[in-house]
Structure 1
Amino acid sequence: MTEQRYRSHTDSIYGELDVPTVVNAAGTKTRIGGSLIRAEALEAMNDAASTFVELGDLQAAASDRIAEITGAEAGYVTSGAAAGLCLSAAAAIAGHDIAAMDRLPDTEGLPSEILMPRTHRTGYDHALRAAGATIVDIGTNDLHLGTGSTNVEPWEIEANITDETAAIAYMEKSYTEPPLDVVADIAHDHDIPVIVDAAAELPPRSNFSRFIEQGADLVVFSGGKGIRGPQTTGIVAGKQEYIESIALQHLDMHVAEAAWSPPKRLIDLDNFAGVPRQGIGRSMKVGKEELVGLIYALEAFMEEEQAETQREWQNRADNIACAIEDAGLETHVTGGSDVSVAPEVVINVDESSETTAIELVRRLRAENPRVYLGGDRIDEGEVVANPMCITDDEADYVADRIVANVEN
């Protein structure tokens, strides 16, 4: 019955391309498409594709809406959160200096060090380094020794600020420290910005303004995860001076100075000595369709009933857990957290079957349609089913396939 239910997957555009589809119980993972774009966004994108528009005007309109939602001075739409981090670093390094913009990622002679607490480092900070920044690690991982000491003390951050420091980068997760407002106070005492990576921190909607209120100068969100906009979009919210710099390093600058008239609320020409060359962000362009799609997805995200969405996720997770437990597998359902905003079904495979977690993940991903579970705990013998990106029918299918593959 479950195979019959999903025969329609082969009738999709991916079936025509001979590409297997995925039943996504892993959450908003980029490698399997992030999330499903909202219908409102798709309709708006289709409409946007039929007309030309000046992208600077469209970015200015997006900036107005992002500022309204976040409480920041301005905002900008980028080609994903990683691009937002890269452009934020470029803005911190180059500022309003168009000669510096022209040189990036060559930062010789420019303050280009970005301080990061050591436990905030991830593979995603490559996006900061791509702008020419050098990451300076601060602190230790002593918290994990169980001695009561912390990983990073505020004085360590302050002691490492020098004339070469361009910014402080902060990864927002439940385990990161020191608190953002403490880091922001230190940064602002030295007149340097704080860049916050909050790519996966939506929902809740309150996070839109939370980091700005705590003193962040630039906050980066994904547009293709919880917001359910185009996968190739991101949002930067922050100080006007940095958003201006981002815009100049991102927009098409192939224009005569005499004819250059960007919207003043996005770019104030009085702040710049002339038209810059094509900037480091030119390879990260955002199409008018994605821009409009993100704006409309953002509107829908702000209007939806979050409590109802949370209840749907909880019911779906509970149903998966019950079906799996009936087959003799050990599970527990987590509450939403800063790491995952949705409740998740944690399945202890190694302790309750002869199949290992790795074997289960591999088998499910080899099926057609592929079934993806979260593998972040695979080294602990556990897999995770996330309810965010599946329907109720798909949740039943996921449970069926888990049980079938464990029993084999």
Structure 2
Amino acid sequence: MISRRNLIKNFSAVPLLGGLAGTTNLLPFLDAAAAPAKDYFRDLGIRTFINAAGTYTSMTGSLMLPEVLSAIQYASKEYVILDDLQDKVGQRIASLAKCEYAVVTSGAASAITLGLTGVLTGMDEKKAELVPHLAGTGMKTEVVMQKAHDIPYAHALKNTGVKVILVETKAELEKAINDQTAMLFFVNANNFDGQVQVEEFLQVAKAHRLPAMIDCAADVPPVENLWKYTAMGYDMVCFSGGKGIRGPQSAGLLLGKEKYIKAARLSMPPRGNTVGRGMKVNKEEILGMLVALELYLQKDHAKEWKQWEAQVALIGNAAASVPGVHTATKVPPIANHIPTLHVSWDPAKLPLSAAALQEKLRKGTPSIEVAGSPEGKPHAISITTWMMVPGQEKIVAARLKEALSNV
């Protein structure tokens, strides 16, 4: 059993980035850092768990690396001008992601809303103050996307006041475009669900001289996706910061064309009378996001992939040793593109539902969260290891085998 006390001890031992530079008196902070760690979650009566499910927002995404925490701690001790920080960090991120311009947003959904707002308003500050009330402003009022891409997160488009037009075929897509069409929107994770796929969709946008935005929220790894779609020609690409990149959970990235992202910044804090005022990103998150991205690009991705495969194999072998249990390792084609263990069982041999197994793992010590079957099967679960602390895969393997054996 992993000691939560030891985990907290390991993750709290984070050095200050940049030494003791700056004008701030750091002694009170150093004294606080030397104090024994307090178990805040336990005091609040909140359950912590081993994350064998993935980067779900409901499970608070990913764990930030020590270097990211160090950058956040560093940023918390000095004042800067918010726009200056976004300027400089945006320049660095644009260079790293091989695009014209970039900005740190409060998640991928915020990137969608703000990017579209930039398309609607251009560099007109007065128009930025009118969004989402578009009628009579001269701003365009429609966005076109495929019906198969109408996921809940696409609501971020509607925050700007536009009407979302849903289509199914290429012919319908072409017909839906009119003088009120502001942008075409594509959800990369659903690429193979729609009839018009990623490159053809972009071709339609270019043919009609319309900006195209693509939602790639959970689409790293592979690392190449960070520049693949801007290189392809998409005007804006939206990523979550707190998933595979392991930045702050409430941060995201808007990458792409300078003219649209600069316009999007007119609706971002510190400006107040805009639709984006509530989408504030603080200096700690901005710097933490930059450091997380730098670390992600420096990582040995091939080595990490082999580690995930070995961890998944360990858990899979333990589960498959129980009579009636079947396992398979699969890799989703786009979003959450990582080795994923599918565990299923014969209900005639193991009269156990997926929900019941999830609850057994959840209520054990330590608590473990696993995901349901991607296909919605009643006697199957799925497991990933990429959000685990190394070594936790051994605990998951033992606990899963135990839970399946004692039915």
Are 1:120 and 2:149 counterparts? yes
Tell me which residue corresponds to 2:18. Answer: none
Instruction: Give the whole-Å Cα distance in 2 for the aligned partners of 1:378 and 1:163.
Output: 40
Instruction: Give the whole-Å Cα distance in 1 for the aligned partners of 2:117 and 2:373.
Output: 32
Tell me which residue corresponds to 1:129. Answer: 158
CA drift at 1:327 = 2.0
| CA offsets 1:131-160 (integer angstroms, 9 cap, x no match) | 212111001xxxxxxxxxxxx32x321211
- Of 65, 72, 78, 1:51 maps to 78
Q: Percent identity?
A: 29
Question: Match for 1:212: what amino acid?
Answer: T
| Contact preservation (8 Å) 1:22, 1:32 | no
- Of 288, 294, 306, 2:289 maps to 294
| CA offsets 1:11-37 (integer angstroms, 9 cap, x no match) | 843223221101100011111111110
- Of 163, 180, 198, 2:198 maps to 180
Instruction: Give the whole-Å Cα distance in 1 for the aligned partners of 2:44 and 2:359.
Output: 23
Instruction: Give the whole-Å Cα distance in 1 for the aligned partners of 2:203 and 2:376.
Output: 39
Question: Match for 1:175: what amino acid?
Answer: F
| Contact preservation (8 Å) 1:20, 1:368 | no
Tell me which residue corresponds to 1:342. Answer: 338
> Aligned in 2, Cα 1:8/1:63: closer, same or farther, shift over 3 Å?
closer
| CA offsets 1:359-408 (integer angstroms, 9 cap, x no match) | 11233233454311112437313100101111343212222222333323
Tell me which residue corresponds to 1:326. Answer: 321
C-alpha RMSD of matched pairs (Å): 2.0
- TM-score normalised to structure 2 length: 0.86
CA drift at 1:7 = 7.3
| CA offsets 1:219-248 (integer angstroms, 9 cap, x no match) | 000110111111110000011111111111
Question: Match for 2:395: what amino acid?
Answer: Y
Question: Match for 2:322: what amino acid?
Answer: A
Instruction: Give the whole-Å Cα distance in 2 for the aligned partners of 1:349 and 1:361.
Output: 14
Tell me which residue corresponds to 1:385. Answer: 383
Secondary structure of the 2:247 match is coil
Instruction: Give the whole-Å Cα distance in 1 for the aligned partners of 2:77 and 2:346.
Output: 54
Superposed, 1:203-218 pairs within 5 Å as 203-218=221-236
Tell me which residue corresponds to 1:168. Answer: 184
Give ranges in structure 1 of 5+ residues lacking alignment.
140-151, 254-276
| Contact preservation (8 Å) 2:54, 2:386 | yes
- Of 336, 358, 362, 2:359 maps to 362
Tell me which residue corresponds to 2:246. Answer: 228
| CA offsets 1:195-222 (integer angstroms, 9 cap, x no match) | 1100000111110111111111110001
> Aligned in 2, Cα 1:397/1:378: closer, same or farther, shift over 3 Å?
farther
CA drift at 1:252 = 1.3
> Aligned in 2, Cα 1:50/1:238: closer, same or farther, shift over 3 Å?
same
Consecutive aligned runs of 4 or more in structure 1 exceeding 6 Å deviation: none
Instruction: Give the whole-Å Cα distance in 2 for the aligned partners of 1:172 and 1:205.
Output: 15
| Contact preservation (8 Å) 1:222, 1:235 | yes
- TM-score normalised to structure 1 length: 0.86
Secondary structure of the 2:267 match is helix
Tell me which residue corresponds to 1:35. Answer: 62
Tell me which residue corresponds to 1:271. Answer: none
Instruction: Give the whole-Å Cα distance in 2 for the aligned partners of 1:202 and 1:373.
Output: 21
Instruction: Give the whole-Å Cα distance in 2 for the aligned partners of 1:58 and 1:108.
Output: 35
Secondary structure of the 1:249 match is coil
Bigger mean CA deviation after superposition, 101-110 or 237-246: 101-110
Instruction: Give the whole-Å Cα distance in 2 for the aligned partners of 1:250 and 1:350.
Output: 53
Instruction: Give the whole-Å Cα distance in 2 for the aligned partners of 1:349 and 1:132.
Output: 47
Question: Match for 1:95: what amino acid?
Answer: G
Instruction: Give the whole-Å Cα distance in 1 for the aligned partners of 2:373 and 2:238.
Output: 23
Instruction: Give the whole-Å Cα distance in 1 for the aligned partners of 2:44 and 2:116.
Output: 39
| Contact preservation (8 Å) 1:116, 1:135 | yes
Question: Match for 1:165: what amino acid?
Answer: T
Question: Match for 1:164: what amino acid?
Answer: Q
CA drift at 1:336 = 5.5
Tell me which residue corresponds to 2:174. Answer: 158
Are 1:87 and 2:84 counterparts? no
> Aligned in 2, Cα 1:96/1:191: closer, same or farther, shift over 3 Å?
farther
| Contact preservation (8 Å) 2:221, 2:338 | no
Are 1:305 and 2:303 counterparts? no
- Of 256, 266, 272, 1:238 maps to 256
Secondary structure of the 1:195 match is strand
Question: Match for 1:393: what amino acid?
Answer: G
Secondary structure of the 1:90 match is helix
| CA offsets 1:268-299 (integer angstroms, 9 cap, x no match) | xxxxxxxxx62111101000000000011111
| Contact preservation (8 Å) 2:220, 2:336 | no
Instruction: Give the whole-Å Cα distance in 2 for the aligned partners of 1:244 and 1:362.
Output: 47
> Aligned in 2, Cα 1:106/1:369: closer, same or farther, shift over 3 Å?
farther
| Contact preservation (8 Å) 1:138, 1:157 | yes
Paired residues in the alignment total 370
Tell me which residue corresponds to 2:21. Answer: none
Question: Match for 1:71: what amino acid?
Answer: K
CA drift at 1:94 = 1.9
| Contact preservation (8 Å) 2:341, 2:383 | yes
Secondary structure of the 1:224 match is coil
